[in-house]
Amino acid sequence: ISAGQTAAGGAGQSWGDIVGILGPVILPTLIIVLICAILGGLIYSIIGGFFASLSVNQEDYQAIQTPVMMILMLSYFGGIMAGASQLSGLLLFFSYFPFSAPLVLPVALAAGQIGWIEVMVSFSIMIGTAVVLLILFTPLYRASILSYDQSSLMKRIKNIYRTSKVLKENQKLYEGNK
């Protein structure tokens, strides 16, 4: 069997031909994967950090992390479903949805289902989501990190929200008295 033929007798391609065809796609896809990993890690770290600050003990931490894991798993399976179905609209939705975009975006780009404009829009949405989450969760994190409240999760979040408002008002008063 020669290097250009398969065992079945048909003509195959050498690795050089395959790399030559995929070469222009590999580097941009790897860069997109890296950027998606960073932005996705940032988004999930912000959410996870806030929910972790609500926990008091190990069992509480595991129960509180469940919503974060559910969002991640739904995004993962949604991305698989969108990629397998090859529906451009569904892939575009999961590419724009900031929780699933880090998983779907590189695959959709490599498959040729979306273009560079969609990639840039998705990056903008992920960056905007990270900024909004930081703005929302930073005061809540500051109020919850030293809280040892043992109430239910929703009641704890409500109490932390009230505490963060009081801390913000006290900070404004303190800065006004300088």
Residue 2, exposed/middle/buried by CB under 10 A (0-12, 13-18, 19+)? exposed
For 11, phi then psi, to 5°, come to -80, 130
CA angle 64, 65, 67 (to 5 degrees): 90
| Residue 128 confidence (pLDDT) | 97
pLDDT in tens, 116-165: 999 999 999 999 999 999 998 888 887 777 777 777 767 777 777 777 77
Residue 84 has pLDDT above 70, yes or no: yes
Task: Indicate the residue type of 160.
Answer: I
Kindly report the pTM of this predicted structure. Answer: 0.72
